[in-house]
Structure 1
């Protein structure tokens, strides 16, 4: 039976569709993967989806609302908070110095409104899927008397180290920090920034710490990753009974709605020979400081390679006619899969990691903050599909000539042959995972069974 037939039968029998409540965290790298997943659940598996969203973030989910009549917003105004300025409802609108913990804590003030809404529903939700930044939703689901599922738009490795970090709170150290003999150690500055910025005794941070720890108590957890890439750390979490050991690796989650494109990149890429372009992007949250932008510019110019550089700040428009600088949103998935693109200089944000793996391009790792050093470890040391060309950090600026040499080498025929072979294999495995019969395809079906079982038990 097709999805449309399933929906038609349910309507004809006047049976309500199984109803899921979805609560994304308002940051692009968190919100988009969960909305793509939610859209697949609505269109492929005949769920009714309600997405909790604040007014200023409603436009961000409009393409998903337009894609299916089974997806509905629950728009709730964010109550005033002493930690947040008025109108700060998204991670990118937080003033400098305001931590993500303030937004995490503030979003919990929506709890009474959500409970009132649920009581008014003739077809109340039978499960709540929330972003792992909102682990406090475990208690919200308990109040609603429904199952809770945590959604991780990050690697299983990140989840595996974040829980013991918040549990034990190791202090800053000059030696690598290890949380388990079966997990890698990291220099303290390379630990996830959401942990390093924790301030004991601060109400927002103490709430956030408990929120992250609560994810382990979920009925299940969904990961935007795939077994071939992340299997060791998925197994570690299962063996520790994290989220009752019910972990579903369903990634790389395919896009459920098309990417928008106002960039005019593709005429340039179409004019370039195959495997001749380096794509540079450090993510939507990163602001390129002038000294760093100058070093990248000099490195690109010295390399002489064709490039596309996605920036959020001012930069030269071209270098000797070789490159293109794009300000604002870039359809990154399509850019990476273009035949002209040979390599990707990436900050190692998780969405970029997955898109780079699927495209099979050479990855030049340049971690900056957040979970990016953890992801770079996965790419460079575990999977062997990337080369680390630089590291970010306060005041860190690369040597332009060396940067140019590495970028130039990335488009040379025959360079880094072992990495290119592994990148091609990883791309094949990523696509096989989400294809019919693949590990992520089967995990999605098992996850759907669990969610529908919650409906029948309601």
Structure 2
């Protein structure tokens, strides 16, 4: 963060370069700009078009195009949960200093970033890390929930892994987190691969661990969340955050929409394979809450077996649906003809916020990526959880067991293939059964609370004002 010529804070935003990860940060950038904060958004040249709606609504925001390497295409790496693959590059930081120089200080932040990149270029290949650099003091969209022992795993979990537990017959070994509200326990295979693959002394593992610990040294944390969803975790700052301030300012898409968002719901994230107006017209044919939306995020790709099981379940359930089959998902041949007029398959990017906002959509089959579930919560749409990797199992538990706004659809992880008959029954019960109706009622109530949170006087509205005041306070120190 820096200071402009008129004394206003100047914030540099560096989003992870994937559409689903970028959009919430662009919403936050829009909200900051609306409140007089100067914002520069650093993106790869390939993602620069995603900024067009934001720049048209917020001309004070400046883009900074960087020659970043593209992400690997969706496919086997994502299927295997290889988030760490993005990190398999020489890490120049040990040759710098015990702690990298921060991007704080005098001068425009984009100039300091360019200097930093030139410096790293002289030291060797820059690591392809998530853009949440450890020397950023204000860490955007870092959710603090369930982060007691970031790396390594708790000692008892390490011992279990050493005995072979957590795989095969020991896969139900539970790892407790007693210091977190509600004291959750998770089967070892359902914790993030980053946690489970840690090896003391391994360069990659230690690099990831340092990144976690440096992140925890940030001045504060901004979360795309809201009190009605995560009150227990927001009311009591966690010890591993050193009781630092957490500003829950979400749902960011809803907050941005309240002030004339960074992009209309139908052009959010870029053009859809089917125009949003056509999707909306198709949905208009169905009763309220009767349509199931199916989407697994912007990176994950279903295996052929998983896609076949999902298609068979949708066909047998009799439910109307919209399926966003992205990135090479193998939709079975003849499936679209067999489901006739009750199914719509979208290939490529889908106008997710617009779909979730349509009254006909009552359910969302989701991988439980955080941004997707927050968008669904804001829309008052119930969810059917199909977590695969990363934090998704943790998120699914929050939705099903704590918030009560979801039903489990598939819970086995990256390679799990649901039984199509069981999944069809789950879909039918969700859309037409009493249990599904009760879950939908809770989801709609959560949606009302989400909208209230981002309006004047709401918890997220107040948190955003306090966050911006903190930016001004930091600017004067």
Report the TM-score, using the length of structure 1 for normalisation.
Answer: 0.81
Higher relative CO (Cα under 8 Å, sequence separation at least 6) belongs to 2
Gaps in structure 1 of 5+ consecutive residues: 1-9, 79-87, 142-147
Aligned length: 420
Q: Does 1:58 align with 2:48?
A: yes
Partner of 2:176: 178
Task: Spell out, residue by residue over 1:18-39, the C-alpha distance to the aligned partner (whole angstroms, 9 max, x if none).
Answer: 2112222223333221121012
Query: 1 CA distance for matches of 2:307 and 2:63?
Result: 40
Task: Spell out, residue by residue over 1:287-344, the C-alpha distance to the aligned partner (whole angstroms, 9 max, x if none).
Answer: 1111111111111111111111111224233413321111111111111121111211
Q: Does the 8 Å contact 1:39/1:64 carry over to 2?
A: yes
Gaps in structure 2 of 5+ consecutive residues: 114-128, 257-261
Partner of 2:65: 75
Partner of 2:24: 33
Alignment of 1:352-371 (within 5 A): 352-371=372-391
Task: Spell out, residue by residue over 1:27-83, the C-alpha distance to the aligned partner (whole angstroms, 9 max, x if none).
Answer: 3333221121012101x21111122333344334343334322222333334xxxxx
The 1:18/1:91 distance shift into structure 2, 3 A limit, reads: farther
The 1:321/1:240 distance shift into structure 2, 3 A limit, reads: same
Partner of 2:125: none
Query: 2 CA distance for matches of 1:382 and 1:116?
Result: 38
Worse-matched range after superposition: 180-189 or 115-124: 115-124
SS in 2 for 1:137: coil
Partner of 2:139: 150
Alignment of 1:259-270 (within 5 A): 259=265, 260=267, 261-262=271-272, 263=274, 264-270=278-284
Alignment of 1:321-400 (within 5 A): 321-400=341-420
Alignment of 1:390-429 (within 5 A): 390-412=410-432, 414-429=434-449
- When the two chains are superposed, the root-mean-square deviation of aligned CA atoms in Å is 3.3
How far off is 1:163 after superposition? 2.6
Partner of 1:228: 228
1:100 to 77, 83, 100: 83
SS in 2 for 1:271: coil
SS in 2 for 1:186: strand
Worse-matched range after superposition: 91-100 or 263-272: 91-100
SS in 1 for 2:174: coil
Query: 1 CA distance for matches of 2:71 and 2:388?
Result: 21
Q: Does the 8 Å contact 2:290/2:319 carry over to 1?
A: yes
Q: Does the 8 Å contact 1:161/1:179 carry over to 2?
A: yes
Q: Does the 8 Å contact 1:25/1:134 carry over to 2?
A: yes
The 1:126/1:456 distance shift into structure 2, 3 A limit, reads: farther
Query: 2 CA distance for matches of 1:52 and 1:115?
Result: 19
Task: Spell out, residue by residue over 1:334-391, the C-alpha distance to the aligned partner (whole angstroms, 9 max, x if none).
Answer: 1112111121111111111111111212211111112110000100111111111212
How far off is 1:422 after superposition? 1.6
Q: Does the 8 Å contact 2:148/2:238 carry over to 1?
A: no
Alignment of 1:287-306 (within 5 A): 287-306=301-320
Q: Does the 8 Å contact 1:357/1:423 carry over to 2?
A: yes
